[in-house]
Amino acid sequence: MKSLCVNVDHIATIREARKTNEPDPIHAAVLAELGGADGITIHLREDRRHIQDRDLRLMREVVKTKLNLEMAATSEMANIALEVKPDQVSVVPEKREEITTEGGLDVSGQIDYLTEVTKKLQSAGIPVSFFIDPDIDQVNASKKAGAVSIEINTGKYSESKDAEGKDLEIKKIQDAASKAAFLGLKVYAGHGLTYKNILSILKIREIEEFNIGHNIVARASMVGMEKAVGEMLQVIQSNVHQ
């Protein structure tokens, strides 16, 4: 069985566009769970551009499935995670100027530091996952640093324009997934996945969980549009003063 964690960051992006209180990512998380999601993923970024600290605290109370916190491996974030205790921490690289996470974590380049952060979180009972590119050296380093799982970055695959590029990326993802499973790591995947491009990734047996955000939120905004407009028309037409 393959499971799905729904990333609700971009519900918060819409809220933050107006600095108001709707739509609320907490409501989206509840609805995603009602829809069958196996987990809820949120990324508390250093600049708090979408998810806020309040969201994380409330999610911890409300989410009944698995709460996966994506975060940079800073001491501020590690302290927040130790306090809130999500069901999993996914360590991601973070740059202020990026629109979304760009590329995977360089585990081999900061292995001592990541080993220390991982140990701290895992000794508090929080399993740690690393978001990495499909690269064998990074898979080996993730195992060495003590991660329980890796999330393979499917960003490059999803951006590939032609069949040749896609095939090349699929091969890299397959090789990284096989190596990780061989080492006893759980294997997840995410970034840029859509209702269409996930089909090839589903053939990779070792991948047991997907983190998908933008495409689901985009679709939700479309499939709900007709109903939302109908409801506003109903309010207008039934309250017109002649």
The contact set with ligand PXP (CB under 6 A) reads 7, 9, 43, 70, 90, 92, 100-101, 131, 151, 190-193, 211-215
Which is the catalytic residue, given 10, 151, 191, 209? Answer: 191
The answer to whether residue 209 is catalytic is: no
| Min CB(151)–ligand PXP separation in Å | 6
The answer to whether residue 76 is catalytic is: no
The answer to whether residue 27 is catalytic is: no
| Min CB(206)–ligand PXP separation in Å | 17
Among residues 89 and 231, whose Cβ is nearest to ligand PXP?
89
Which is the catalytic residue, given 43, 151, 169, 209? Answer: 43
| Min CB(191)–ligand PXP separation in Å | 4
Which is the catalytic residue, given 70, 151, 169, 209? Answer: 70
SS3 string, the chain, reads CCEEEEECHHHHHHHHHHCCCCCCHHHHHHHHHHCCCCEEEEECCCCCCCCCHHHHHHHHHHCCCCEEEEECCCHHHHHHHHHHCCCEEEECCCCCCCCCCCCCCCCHHHHHHHHHHHHHHHHCCCCEEEEECCCHHHHHHHHHHCCCEEEEECHHHHHCCCHHHHHHHHHHHHHHHHHHHHCCCEEEEECCCCCCCHHHHCCCCCEEEEEECHHHHHHHHHHCHHHHHHHHHHHHHCCCCC
Among residues 99 and 236, whose Cβ is nearest to ligand PXP?
99
Which residues are known to be catalytic?
43, 70, 191
